Amino acid sequence: MLKFILRRLGISALILWLASVLMYWLTVNSGDPLKDLRESNAENREQLMQQRSDILELHLSWQERYWNWLTGVAGCFRGECDLGTSINGSDVLNLTSQAAGSTLRLVTLATLLAILVGVALGILTAIRQYSGFDYAVTFLAFLFFSLPVFWAAVLLKEYGAIRFNDWIAGGQAGPLAIVLIAALIALVLAALLGGSPQRRLVTGAATFAFVGLVMFGLNVLDWYRSPFFGLGMVLLASLGAGALTTALVTGFGNRRVLYAAATTAAVGTVAYLVFIDILLDPSWPALLGLFVLAVAVSVAIGAAWGGYARKQAMLVSGITGVLTSLIIAFDILVAHWSGFLGLKSRPISTIGSQTPNFRGEFWESVLDKGAQLILPTLVLTLVSIASYSRYTRSSMLEVMNQDYVRTARSKGLSERAVITKHAFRNALIPITTIVAFDFAGLIGGAVITERVFGWKGMGALFLDALNRVDPAPVMAFFLVTGTAAVVMNMLADIAYAFLDPRIRR
């Protein structure tokens, strides 16, 4: 395996080098970096042109300029990284680190959401093949996949930002909105659960009534502008997350695993009270430390309860601990929503990754950055969900028709065990390739999304530099995206070996 990885790294390094030569040559020959100054009427035009020529080293041939750039990149292996200077004299390394951080914040969340939702939909549509739910998801998948990104982004800015901000000023859902939302949720849930026509009718009617009553109650309580969640809801949601995780991983046959999940949820809720002072006024290192502590305690609870099923109990408890931590964070954010609206009456802006000169405390700042993250993340997620759901569906259908799956069913294993332990793991092998390249591709492919929403990420860095014929930022973009592609491809190969032991040989 080590020889395989080293050989792949060597080939990837050669490809990156050849591609970098081509990219640099294309960039420096794409236009005139002095064009705007040549057309200027400034008295010091010649001085400005000479200054820019010195910065870009225009007196050298493109081969010499490329060699200087490559030498600076090679210094990264010695801790002396130099990616050059931009056309206006800024350090490209600092520009790249800021842009990469902004883009990674966007791409990572979009990729995780797309994987979770897309894979789940793919599994469900494979299980419910040729049902109404399958046809509906297939239609929506092709619709989202074919949507022009810029058009979808503009629609989201109109309805997800401008009109939402107008609505939140009053914070009341109208009767028509309540009926439409309740009907939509009822249709989706009835299609998802399936069953006979009578069962789906009862499910849809009960869901419609329940959602309608809940939304009416939220109007009465002015919940949309002054929401609350509470400790009791934290405990109930954590117990529900533990029960769901147990059902998916082991089923309810092993009580020890279920008790471990319930104990983790209860301990997490109690810890919320213990660390409430730190959580209300935290720092990022403190939150990270508490999260690591929560995972460690959760795994320890699983090991204590597990017995003969210790590994499964530790896995279930660990996942429950992570979900409980997220639920606690959600409760804190909900508690700070009204204060955030007091600082920013229109919570979702149409451009930018955060509000300039925002004066809120820690959690208000998190809400501000999170609100700005919603729309561009949603655009990227919708496009990626279509791919993940289609690939997962076809891969699951192929695996579920294999002999070993039929053998597992004939042995009397539950359908949950057949799907999660036998079919899904093998179906993940082709999906791993899509995940690896989709993440790397989104870093470079978020150019349009960043442009529409005014994000100062890698896309903006690349486009601005390309328009100004500024090779250093363009090559920094290539270096980040190319390296990401190589690394993710390598991780995909390692994941293959983990999922299929035959590949290790």
Map out the domains of the chain as residue ranges: 2-94, 172-221
Per-residue confidence of the chain (505 residues) as pLDDT tens digits? 677 677 777 888 888 899 899 999 999 988 888 888 888 887 888 888 888 888 888 888 999 999 999 998 888 888 788 888 888 888 888 888 888 888 888 888 888 888 889 888 888 888 888 887 888 888 888 888 888 888 888 889 999 999 999 999 888 898 999 999 999 999 888 877 777 888 889 999 999 999 999 999 999 999 999 998 889 999 999 999 999 999 888 888 788 999 999 999 999 999 999 999 999 989 999 999 999 999 999 999 999 998 888 999 999 999 999 999 999 999 999 999 999 999 998 999 888 878 888 888 899 999 998 998 899 888 888 888 888 888 889 889 888 888 888 888 888 887 778 887 788 877 887 787 777 777 766 766 577 888 888 888 888 888 888 888 899 999 998 888 888 877 777 777 777 767 666 665 5
**C-alpha dist (Å) from residue 483 to 104, 434, 478:** 14, 17, 8
Q: Where are the alpha helices (DSSP H) in 75-91?
A: none
| Residue 500 pLDDT | 66
Confidence (pTM): 0.82
Distance (Å, whole) CA 242 – CA 455? 37
* CA-wise closest residue to 498 among 430, 439, 447, 429: 429
pLDDT of residue 75: 84
* Spatial separation of the C-alpha atoms in residues 455 and 462, rounded to whole Å: 12
Q: Whole-angstrom Cα distance, residue 88 to residue 51?
A: 10
| Per-position b or e across 286-320, b if 16+ CB within 10 A of its CB | ebeebeeebbebbbbbbeebbeebbebbbbbbbbb
The residues facing 91 across adjacent strands are: 85
CA distance 299 to 281: 27
C-alpha span between 430 and 363 (Å, rounded):
40
Residue 330: alpha-carbon gap to chain centroid = 17
Check residue 502 and give its pLDDT: 63
